[in-house]
A = this chain, B = another copy of it.
């Protein structure tokens, strides 16, 4: 069964989300349009976080940063309201999950800065277009994600190792996928590793740190991409007094077409 919101425009779906009519995950909605991860931090921490993303652009490709205190977006979804237009939000205090909300208007502060970060959904659409199989979609699972031994460049209070997502494929598809995704640096770009998981500190490929494991078929190699969970993990480790993120899978649907994220 196809997603009933697949053919709707981002603006229409965001309106339904704002009205509370959609509160679940956005996977498969508004085909062809990019979705984005959200991290909201107080201004006091915004410089360090922006610098962390600048120093680690592959796992942290920033699509838009809001003006201080503003709930409105100007670039990727003009007119969107950050506090209401995602289906579900998580509130963290000192690194601890304190609640999940479908609207964070009541939590809004004048010193909040919102970071919208590119998401692998965009390059997966391009892989599927090129008839490269994406296993976790075939198997109806979450993509498997792993904490690696690859250190991010630290910035102020933010630090941590890179988190990667993994998609198994035949070597010839791995090469094509590398070329296709290299042209999309604003949604993580090319893989960071192909092959032996141990080389990047992954002990058991069937035991991901986040998401779910997927089948690796005979002759396939695991291909690892920098993952947008990296900045979230860096924020959690820094234990800021307050941070709001999207709930897993409940992304901002932007007005930007995936193809527009190509170089």
Contact = CB atoms under 8 A, between A and B. Distances in A.
A248 B52 CA distance: 30
B65 A263 contact: no
Interface residues of A, number: 19
Contact of A263 (B55, B74, B190): B190
Interface of A: 43, 46-47, 50-51, 53-55, 62, 65, 74-75, 153, 182-183, 185, 189-190, 263
A43 B62 CA distance: 21
How many monomers of this chain does the complex have?
2
Nearest to A181: B263
A62 B53 CA distance: 12
A51 B51 CA distance: 9
Contacts of A53: 54
A189 B51 contact: no
A179 to B, nearest CB: 10
A182 B263 contact: yes
A55 B65 contact: yes
A167 to B, nearest CB: 20
B54 A65 contact: yes
A102 to B, nearest CB: 29
Contacts of A75: 55, 153
A97 B189 CA distance: 41
